[in-house]
Chains A and B, each alone.
Chain A
Amino acid sequence: MGMVGFLVGVFGGLLLSHAAYATVQYRGMLMIVEEEFSRPPMNIVMELVLGLALCIWTALTVPGKFLSILPHSDENRLVSLPANLDFMIFNHRGKVFPLKQT
Chain B
Amino acid sequence: MVVAAEEKELKRLETQVENGGGGAWDYLCLVRKLKARCSHNVLKFGLPILKDPNSRSKLGSDEWTLYEQVAIAAMDCQQLEVAKDCLKSLCKKFPESTRVARLECMLLEAKGSWAEAENAYARLLEDNPLDQAIHKRKAAIAKAQGNISSAIECLNKYLEIFMADHDAWRELAEIYVSLQMYKQAAFCYEELILSQPTVPLYHLAYAEVLYTLGGLENLQMAKKYYASTIDLTGGKNTRALFGICLCSVAIGQLTKGRNKDEKEASELPSLAATALMKEYKERAPDKLPLLTSTVKSMKLFS
Chain A residues engaging chain B, CB cutoff 8 angstroms: 70, 72-91, 94-95, 98-99, 101-102
For A86, the chain B residues whose CB sits under 8 A away are 133, 136-137, 140, 167-168, 171
| Given contacts A98-B77, A99-B79, A72 and B36 within 8 Å (CB-CB) | no
Contact between B37 and A83 (Cβ–Cβ < 8 Å)? yes
Contact between B233 and A73 (Cβ–Cβ < 8 Å)? yes
By beta carbon, the residue of chain B nearest A72 is B3
Contact between B36 and A81 (Cβ–Cβ < 8 Å)? no
Identify the stretch in B92-100, B193-201, B244-252, B264-272 within 8 Å (CB) of chain A at 4 or more residues: B193-201
A interface majority secondary structure: loop
Additional 16 contacts, C-beta under 8 A, given A73-B231, A78-B3, A86-B140? A70-B198, A70-B232, A72-B233, A74-B234, A78-B4, A81-B1, A81-B2, A83-B37, A84-B171, A87-B167, A87-B171, A89-B141, A89-B144, A91-B144, A95-B78, A99-B78
Interface residue? B241 (CB, 8 A): no
For B233, the chain A residues whose CB sits under 8 A away are 72-73, 77-78
Contact between A94 and B3 (Cβ–Cβ < 8 Å)? no
Q: Shortest distance in angstroms between B152's beta carbon and chain A's nearest beta carbon?
A: 13
**Total A-B pairs, Cβ < 8 A:** 104
Q: Which 9 A-B pairs have the closest CB atoms?
A: A82-B35, A83-B37, A89-B144, A73-B234, A86-B136, A87-B140, A77-B233, A87-B171, A99-B77
By beta carbon, the residue of chain B nearest A77 is B233
| Given contacts A78-B3, A90-B78, A84 and B234 within 8 Å (CB-CB) | no
For B139, the chain A residues whose CB sits under 8 A away are 87
Chain B residues engaging chain A, CB cutoff 8 angstroms: 1-5, 7, 34-37, 39-40, 43-44, 72, 75-79, 109-110, 133, 136-137, 139-141, 143-144, 167-168, 170-171, 174, 198-201, 231-234, 236-237
CA–CA, A94 to B42, complex, Å?
14
Which of A80, A91, A99 lies in contact with B40, CB distance below 8 A?
Answer: A99
Could you give 20 example pairs across A and B, Cβ below 8 Å?
Answer: A70-B198, A70-B232, A72-B198, A72-B233, A77-B236, A78-B1, A78-B199, A78-B233, A80-B2, A81-B1, A84-B167, A84-B171, A85-B37, A86-B168, A86-B171, A87-B139, A89-B141, A89-B143, A90-B76, A99-B43
Q: Shortest distance in angstroms between B225's beta carbon and chain A's nearest beta carbon?
A: 15
| Given contacts A73-B232, A90-B78, A91-B144, A78 and B167 within 8 Å (CB-CB) | no
CA–CA, A88 to B71, complex, Å?
14
| Given contacts A84-B167, A91-B144, A99-B43, A77 and B78 within 8 Å (CB-CB) | no
Which of A79, A85, A102 lies in contact with B44, CB distance below 8 A?
Answer: A102
CA–CA, A102 to B79, complex, Å?
12
Contact between B198 and A75 (Cβ–Cβ < 8 Å)? no
Contact between A89 and B5 (Cβ–Cβ < 8 Å)? no
Q: Shortest distance in angstroms between B42's beta carbon and chain A's nearest beta carbon?
A: 11
